Chains A and B, each alone.
Chain A
């Protein structure tokens, strides 16, 4: 099963298109505030209109805080090869995305680098046209 999931995520990697424009990106996130977060997954909420992945992130002072990262719509991610268990609690991942407009520890995920090193599309609508 893990091999299948890995293959499907590979499909997602090859298909970096916007798939989850549930609402205007700019209403919630700031495309001028890119952020890179690395840490361990603590929780995955697979649901509409967007999946949410929570992760513990250590800042430059060593302080750990929990971030929430919004991914694409589950139906669209599923069609792109993601599965509900593609990310598991404890996985060390790197998220490239954009911070929320309100400055909270929330972000929109554009790319996720998986524990095996592959960098896959996470369903961001930042490039939606």
Chain B
């Protein structure tokens, strides 16, 4: 019953948020590669919004981050070919051991995403599938096409929930710094990796994201990772996201055809026991 009520409440929130200023109508044939890349079929919103125009505003006067965004694909946050990369990850001894001991072939302990478990915040943000943001005065909702996951962010700067069990995406709270939305995320379970290549993290990680909508068609986004168990100092990824007004999110039922897992080529995921 509790689950049903929670689901109904979320549904109401999402219905309410559909009145946000930006709607998305389909991605065309765009590829998910790199930052700010235009759709490849040359059909980029000829009659769409003025992407150079002013940022849309919420009823409370703050910028709305709503829209479908070309969230940059990053399989490796240190890849120098992708602008905004991290120059060097400052490992602690524990973090260095985790990175150097990582088995990328995963023949004994499978990749959790290959098990269709949640990608977590960074691998969802930097994944190959689109992100839609819905936004009203009180909440920002991140809709990740990858695994059809959502993440709800209250934006009133409230305290984090006491004694909440850790989770794949953690708990997020937003606050405004002028026209920049700052979102802090804590209470992560430590089971996730930073990116596809497998950079490590622990349950002590704290993620700080900033969202600045510089015009109708652009968000400047930062992702700062603070994890004293894994890294000696915080590090930040910088991105510029382009609005994709033609893109429509599609269902992603991860386990419906996960033959690699069914047939044993991807091994079951064994959660680590040293992430606290």
A residues touching B (Cβ–Cβ < 8 Å)? 8, 11, 14-15, 17-24, 26-28, 45-52, 68, 70, 73, 75-76, 78-81, 100-102, 104, 106, 125, 128-129
- Kindly identify which residue among A18, A24, A27, A78 contacts B250, using a CB–CB cutoff of 8 Å: A78
Pick the interface stretch among B24-32, B90-98, B168-176, B228-236: B24-32
CA distance A79 to B263 in the complex (A): 28
* B252 contacts across to A, CB distance below 8 A: 48-49, 73, 75
* B116 contacts across to A, CB distance below 8 A: 49
Contact (Cβ within 8 A) B260 A28: yes
Contact (Cβ within 8 A) A23 B266: yes
Question: Who on chain B is nearest to A25 by CB?
Answer: B196
B residues touching A (Cβ–Cβ < 8 Å)? 27-33, 40-41, 73, 75-76, 79, 81-82, 104-107, 110-111, 113-114, 116, 127-129, 145, 196-198, 247, 250, 252-260, 263-266
A-B contact count (CB 8 A): 128
Question: Who on chain A is nearest to B115 by CB?
Answer: A23
CA distance A52 to B262 in the complex (A): 13
* B128 contacts across to A, CB distance below 8 A: 18-22, 73, 76, 125, 128
- B270 CB, min distance to chain A CBs, angstroms: 14
- B132 CB, min distance to chain A CBs, angstroms: 13
Contact (Cβ within 8 A) B31 A73: no
Contact (Cβ within 8 A) B265 A106: yes
Contact (Cβ within 8 A) B253 A48: yes
* B32 contacts across to A, CB distance below 8 A: 17, 19, 76, 79
* B30 contacts across to A, CB distance below 8 A: 79
CA distance A119 to B264 in the complex (A): 31
CA distance A21 to B247 in the complex (A): 19
* A78 contacts across to B, CB distance below 8 A: 250
Contact (Cβ within 8 A) B41 A11: yes
CA distance A2 to B25 in the complex (A): 25
List the 4 closest A-B pairs by CB distance, nearest first.
A47-B257, A23-B114, A17-B33, A27-B106
Contact (Cβ within 8 A) A22 B31: no
- B232 CB, min distance to chain A CBs, angstroms: 26
16 of the cross-chain contacts (CB-CB < 8 Å) are A8-B29, A15-B29, A18-B128, A21-B196, A27-B114, A28-B114, A45-B257, A46-B257, A50-B258, A50-B259, A52-B257, A78-B250, A79-B32, A79-B247, A80-B29, A128-B196
| Contact A49/B257 with A22-B114, A27-B111, A76-B32 known, Cβ cut-off 8 Å | yes
